[in-house]
Amino acid sequence: VDVSQEVAVSEWLKRCDAISPIERVFANAGIGTGEENENNVRRTFAVNVNGCVNTVLPIIELFRERRKSNPNARLQILITASIAGYGPISSCPSYSATKSCMKTWALAMRGMLKKENIQVSAICPGFVRSRITDQNTCPMPFFMEADKAARIILSRADRNVGLIAFPWPMRLAVWLLSILPF
C-alpha cells in the first residue's frame, strides 16, 4: 500500500485489523530526499509526514474502539523519526524536517493518548542499514545493522520508553549541534 494514499491506508489497516486485531503498529514511513528539487521535497513530505499520519490516525480510532471492548489490551503506536530530526541538517533539509515533525508529533501524542491508555513512542535511530543508508555516500558514524537496531527498539518499546533514541553518542552529538547558534 502506498502510505501517501490516505483512503487506501485506512482501508488496508481495517482489513488487517479484521483478520487479526492490531495491538502494536510501527509507523515507519520514510524516504530520503536526494537532490532538494521540488518533486523530491514534496515526495519526502508526502511519505515521511503524510504517510505516517495516514497510518496513525486510523489506528487511533481502531484502538479507541478496541479499548471499549477490551480495557486491558496493550495498545501501542511507534513512530519512526530519526536522529536527523534533532536539528536542521543542511545536507538533507527535507528529511531532517520531516523526521523532526514526526518526533515532536509522537511525543505530543504520547501525552494526549496517555489518559486513554494508548502508548506512543518516537523512534530516533542513527544510521541503520536500510535502502536509504545503502545509497548514502556521506560518513555514517556509529553505523548499525538492522537486526541490532530492531532488538534495541523492541526492548525499549516493551518497556514503554517514550523516546527511543540511539546510539547514545550520536544522540548526544546531534543534540549538542542542535543548540549551537547558526
The strand pairing partners of 122, in sequence order, are 79, 163
42-94 tens-digit pLDDT: 999 999 999 999 999 999 999 999 999 999 999 999 999 998 888 777 778 99
144, 129 contact by CB (below 8 A): yes
Check whether 130 has a pLDDT greater than 90. no
**Mean per-residue pLDDT over the chain, rounded:** 90
Among candidate residues 55, 66, 54, 72, the one with its CA nearest the CA of residue 22: 66
Between strands 24-27 and 118-125, the pairing is: unpaired
| Residue of higher predicted confidence among 136 and 149 | 149
Q: Can you tell me the distance from the alpha carbon of 102 to that of 134, in angstroms, rounded to the nearest whole number? A: 23
Q: Kindly list the strands in the beta sheet with 118-125, ordered across the sheet, starting from the edge strand earlier in the chain.
A: 24-27, 75-80, 118-125, 163-166
Percent of the chain exceeding pLDDT 70 equals: 96
Mean pLDDT, residues 121-134 taken together: 81
